[in-house]
Amino acid sequence: RAALRQRPVVASSPRLAVQLASLGFQAIVPAPGAAPGTLLDALAADVARGRFR
């Protein structure tokens, strides 16, 4: 479980981000909406910044 909480997780709202943080997730990626494309775009932008290389 500890390894899972270190992986990036995409939050589609501030409320969800707070909930994920309270569950111990450390790499929370905010997304402006819950549409699948929006979630993938947010994750792709985060990876493109070099965070996970």
- pLDDT at 53 (0 to 100): 46
Query: What is the residue range of 17's domain?
Result: 2-48
**Tens digit of each residue's pLDDT (9 = 90 or more) over 13-53:** 999 999 999 999 999 999 999 999 999 999 999 887 775 54
- Residue 53 in any domain: the answer is no
- Domain count for the chain, please give it: 1
Cα dihedral: 12, 15, 20, 23 (round 10): -160
Sign of the torsion formed by the C-alpha atoms of 28, 39, 41 and 43: positive
- pLDDT at 51 (0 to 100): 58
- pLDDT at 11 (0 to 100): 97
- Residue 37 in any domain: the answer is yes
Which of the 8 DSSP states describes residue 52?
T
